[in-house]
Structure 1
Amino acid sequence: MEALRTFFAQSIVKRVLFLMLVLLLLYSLRHMLNLLLLLFLVTFVMGRLEGFVTKKISRIFPISPTVVNVILYLLLISSLIFGIFNYAPKIVNQVVDMINNINRFLNSSKNDETLQMLTNALDKIDYQKYLGSAVDYIMKLGKWLEIILFVILLSFFYLLQKNKVDQFTEKFRKSKIGWVYSEFNYFGRKFTSSFGKVIEVQLLIAVFNTVLTIIGLWIMGFPYLFALTIMVFLFSLIPVAGVIISFIPIGIIAYQIGSLSLVVWTIVMILVIHGIETYFLNPKLYAHKTKLPMFYTFIILIFSQHYMGIWGLIIGIPIFMFLLDVLEVEQSE
């Protein structure tokens, strides 16, 4: 009995046991993962934004983080309401119309050898299933809106009372489950410093790619700009593979409205934007993080998509970076 107690008292055993409990908990809450992931992302991003704005304004005059927090969330909710009433119907109509138009175009172009080869290639990856899934997600906009509003409310109350929440949580350190708190605190800090910051970088890169891409598409006279903005942003959250995936519908639309010449110009535009991101933006944002080889990136995306679906494509790389941090793999270049 004493040997068993000594075994479980070891820090490495406690750490492994805690990870197993977390995995079991996440599996039991798998139907709530959308809510949990969005809650973490919104809270992390808004917390970082609050700290940044507070720091900048405090150089001019003193301001309470609580005031900044309230203003930021008012702006967020106002923007969300304005966007829903003014742009949501346009986005939904454009997404559905764009997908139906692409399907009609591919199905009607039987005499075009180039398009026939593209259609055969897309059939192999069952693109109809993915397009159908995209339409389903759009049609469930009301359910997603409910989750988003709930997430915004929870994250607002957490950031509003962050110090009180931390003080209350700290009381568990001296309780009978103090070891659980210690492990939670350790992995929480690791998770925030690795997973959170990688997600932050992916969001910044996604915004950068989306703005430049949509400006380029607008100049070239592309239709469905609202739908393409949402599509490019979401695919930009997927490292490396997102650029390739997002180009398929963009390339098809380019071929529709301007034949191969516009497709070539679109490829040039995307390569220029990707080059600016690779050689100017990434070195600044990933200054203290490992740049994964492309082989690792694709392997991680394949497995994470298999086990976690669409979310896996977005959070697969950040989770891997978190594991590297926990395993203390050297991450500096």
Structure 2
Amino acid sequence: MLLGVWEKFLANVKLRRTVVLLVIILVLYLMKSMMSLILLTFIFTFLVLSLNKTIRRHVKIPSRLIIIAVYLLIISLLYFAVTIYLPKLFTQTEAMAKYVINFYQNPDTDTNAVMRYVNDYISNSEITAQMKNGVTLIFKYLTSVGSMGFTFVVSLMLSFFFTLEKKEMYHFSRSFLKGPFAWFFQDIYFFAEKFVNTFGIVLETQFIIALVNTTLTTICLAVMNMPQLFSLSLLIFLMSLIPVAGVIISAIPMSFIGYSVGGTNYVIYIIIMLLVIHSIESYVLNPKLMSNKTELPIFYTFAVLFVSEHFLGMWGLIVGIPIFTFVLDIIGVKPIRSKKRKLKLKKDRNLREDGKN
């Protein structure tokens, strides 16, 4: 009887895969203390393999040579970042914090009514207490920078060995697909393939958009002669990895510093600049880079960010949307494609039908 139930379970693919997915989620939950290591290793591996594939598409160079060159470049950049730019970053971050503190402690006498109203509102509301809690949280994360640095180095090393021995890893992993428990590893392979095709690609897209946003914003801030440019550009890049909400969060310190440098006019310039860059992201980059992925409404985006931050912490703000996209793919929700993509598919279908006739 038990044998018959077991055979029915193995034959029921949907039920079997649901159980396997729950097992994977349980294992990841038990390994939540290593989540940073797992995610960073995956991100490094995926980005390096994507870069390797792009380079080999244009230049026929051995994969191992490209991978070694990429990691040597990363190590060189890390060395310069730690020895040259890290002290500068701390200095500029301290100066940026002083700008924000001076904005509240010593407001200009000619501050207009709107700015006085905002200042009074913040002073008399719970926002100040929330900001203090936020500062406490930031210091908590800064104190763990040592462990995060160790995690970063280990994940970089693991991703290096994985990418360097990609073929060996592939052939060895294929051996799990044979034997009495082949069904279990086949289902894991099924989810892993979908995970890479959704989570990885969406994350890569967020990374590209963050680079473009950071470059455009930094150029505009440099033209405006804004101080602490290196610290601001790093903040903008990190916030750009957070969909939608990152623009709002990064606007706050930029507005404070802009007001201390050029008054209300600079605040208006910064808001206009962010609106223009966000429009470029929404109407140019997102349709071009994510035309075949689910484009979430803003409400869903914020809801997913809040939930993922609750369960995954700061990582949830970055990987929440890719994970949600992966879940949509698993449950069979079809992506919302752009009109241009729909027209192209319809045109291709008509051409095939005409060819048959």
TM-score after normalising by structure 1: 0.93
For residue 328 of structure 1, give the secondary structure of its aligned residue in structure 2.
coil
For the 8 Å contact 1:212–1:273, the answer to whether it is kept is yes
What residue identity is the alignment partner of 2:91? Answer: N
Return the offset for 1:79. Answer: 0.9
Trace 1:128-143 onto structure 2 (pairs within 5 A). Answer: 128-143=132-147
1:173 aligns with 2:177: yes
> How much has 1:31 moved relative to structure 2?
0.7
Letter in 1 for 2:89: I
Instruction: Tell me whether 153-162 or 118-127 shows the greater mean CA deviation.
Output: 118-127
- 2:278 and 2:129 map into 1 onto residues whose CA distance is 25
Pairing of 1:78-227 with structure 2 (within 5 A): 78-109=76-107, 112-120=116-124, 123=127, 126-227=130-231
Residue 180 of structure 1: how far off its partner (Å):
1.7
Instruction: Find the aligned partners of 1:22 and 1:4 in 2 and give their Cα distance.
Output: 23
Q: Which residue in the other structure is 1:49 paired with?
A: 51
Aligned residues of 2:308 and 2:320 also touching (Cα < 8 A): yes
- CA distance in structure 1 between the partners assigned to 2:229 and 2:148 by the alignment: 22
Question: Deviation at 1:228?
Answer: 0.7
Amino acid in the other structure paired with 1:213: T
1:106–1:119 Cα contact (<8 Å) kept:
no
Tell me, in whole angstroms, the C-alpha distance in 2 between the residues paired with 1:41 and 1:285.
Answer: 18
TM-superposed deviation, 1:122: 6.9
* 1-structure distance, mates of 2:119, 2:37: 40
Please state if 1:70 is matched with 2:68: yes
Aligned residue number for residue 36 of structure 1: 38
Which letter does structure 2 place at the counterpart of 1:39? T
* Contact 1:301 1:316 survives alignment (8 Å): yes
Tell me if the contact between 1:94 and 1:226 (Cα under 8 Å) persists in the aligned partners.
yes
1:307 aligns with 2:311: yes
CA–CA separation in structure 1 for the residues paired with 2:125 and 2:44 = 37
Distance 1:96 1:37 in 2: 30
Instruction: Provide the rounded CA distance (Å) in 2 between the counterparts of 1:134 and 1:224.
Output: 19
Q: Which residue of 1 aligns with 2:275?
A: 271
Greater shift in the superposed pair: 120-129 or 289-298: 120-129
Q: Structure 1 residues 107, 79: CA separation in 2 closer, same or farther (over 3 Å shift)?
A: same
Q: Counterpart amino acid of 2:180? A: K
Q: Residues 239, 130 of structure 1: CA spacing in aligned structure 2 closer, same or farther, 3 A cutoff?
A: same
User: Is contact 1:7–1:13 with CA below 8 Å preserved after alignment?
Assistant: no
Does residue 248 in structure 1 map to residue 241 in structure 2? Answer: no
Aligned length: 329
Q: What CA distance in whole angstroms lies between the structure 2 residues aligned with 1:293 and 1:103? A: 36
Q: 1:50 to 1:125 in 2, by over 3 A?
A: farther
**Paired residues of 1:43 and 1:155 also in contact (CA < 8 A):** yes
SS in 2 for 1:72: helix
Structure 2 counterpart of 1:8: 9
Q: Distance in 1 between matches of 2:200 and 2:157?
A: 20
Letter of the aligned partner of 1:11 in structure 2?
V
Measured against aligned partners, the alpha-carbon deviations of 1:224-276 in whole angstroms (never above 9, x if no partner) come to 11111111011101111110111011111111222111100111111111111
Unaligned runs of 5+ in 1: none
- Identical aligned residues as a percent: 36
2-side partners of 1:37 and 1:123: how far apart? 32
* Cα RMSD, aligned residues only: 1.9
1:20 aligns with 2:22: yes
How far residue 177 of structure 1 moved from its aligned partner, in angstroms, is: 2.0
Normalising to structure 2: TM-score of the pair?
0.87
**Contact 1:109-1:115 within 8 A present in 2 as well:** no
Residue identity matched to 2:265: S
Report if aligned partners of 1:99, 1:131 keep a CA contact under 8 Å in 2.
Answer: no
Amino acid at match of 2:264: L
2:334 is paired with a residue whose SS is: coil
- Displacement after TM superposition at 1:306 (Å): 1.4
Is contact 1:92-1:138 (8 Å) kept?
no
Q: Aligned-pair distance for 1:78?
A: 0.8
Q: Distance in 2 between matches of 1:119 and 1:277?
A: 34
Does the Cα contact within 8 Å between 1:173 and 1:182 map onto a contact in 2? yes
Are the counterparts in 2 of residues 110 and 116 from structure 1 also a CA contact under 8 Å? no
1:172·1:178 contact (CA, 8 Å) conserved in 2? yes
Deviation track 1:93-133 (CA, whole Å, cap 9, x = no partner) reads: 22233234423432454983332324556726712222333
Q: Distance in 2 between matches of 1:73 and 1:127?
A: 39
How far apart are the structure 2 equivalents of 1:121 and 1:288? 44
Separation in 1 of the partners of 2:152 and 2:126?
33
